[in-house]
Amino acid sequence: MHSDHIEIIRLRSEHCERVYDISAKYIPEHWSLDGIKDVLRYDNNIYYVAMCHCADSGFDKTEVVGFGGIMIVADEAELLNIAIEEAYRNRGIAGRILDKLIDEAKLAQCTRMLLEVRKANETAQRFYRDKGFDDLGIRKNYYVDPTDDAIIMDKVLG
């Protein structure tokens, strides 16, 4: 695994099925495959994927192992989703994707980035706090299947 080379690149149509697979595996409120393909049609949706040029893992070729995306509306960017294959976590891949998304948001003159995360998802909250996001509020029972509150977080982009 340590000889794997990870590259962060913009989402292309040939990546969409793997992005769908990863989101369906790890995000309860994941989008449909068509919904993921749709993001390529809108300039204000910016997605990156992590490509693993894998040497000795279960993925025996160049493969998508994670993704993340934002939607830009006026001067704010919303982090729509981010997920990494379990075997590839805790090695900074989501951090690298988020850094790219933050750069894109700044280029688009956004002044802050917002996100919602399940209250039960403490791993993601720790990741976001580590990346400079602050707690902004709570939406009670925002999520279904399973029911959960949403923690709203934001980061000022300077």
Ligand X SMILES: CC(C)(COP(=O)(O)OP(=O)(O)OC[C@H]1O[C@@H](n2cnc3c(N)ncnc32)[C@H](O)[C@@H]1OP(=O)(O)O)[C@@H](O)C(=O)NCCC(=O)NCCS
- Contact residues: ligand X, CB under 6 A: 26-27, 81-84, 89-95, 117, 121, 123-124, 126-127, 130
Shortest separation between residue 80's beta carbon and ligand X, angstroms: 9
User: Is the Cβ of residue 110 or residue 118 nearer to ligand X in the bound state?
Assistant: 118
Tokens 């993704």 correspond to what residue? Answer: 67
User: Is the Cβ of residue 25 or residue 109 nearer to ligand X in the bound state?
Assistant: 25
Distance separating alpha carbons of residues 56 and 58, to the nearest angstrom? 7
Shortest separation between residue 146's beta carbon and ligand X, angstroms: 14
Half-sphere exposure of 3 (CA within 13 A, CB side): 6
Taking residue 146's Cβ as centre, other Cβ atoms within 10 Å add up to 8
Shortest separation between residue 121's beta carbon and ligand X, angstroms: 5
Find the length of the chain. Answer: 158
Shortest separation between residue 26's beta carbon and ligand X, angstroms: 4
Which SS3 state, helix, strand or coil, does residue 106 take?
helix
User: Is the Cβ of residue 128 or residue 157 nearer to ligand X in the bound state?
Assistant: 128
Shortest separation between residue 155's beta carbon and ligand X, angstroms: 14
User: Is the Cβ of residue 47 or residue 127 nearer to ligand X in the bound state?
Assistant: 127
Report the b/e string of 45-64 with b at 16+ CB within 10 A.
Answer: ebbbbbbbebeeeebeeebb
User: Is the Cβ of residue 53 or residue 126 nearer to ligand X in the bound state?
Assistant: 126
Q: Which residues pair with 10 in a beta bridge?
A: 48
Helix (H) or strand (E) holding 28: none
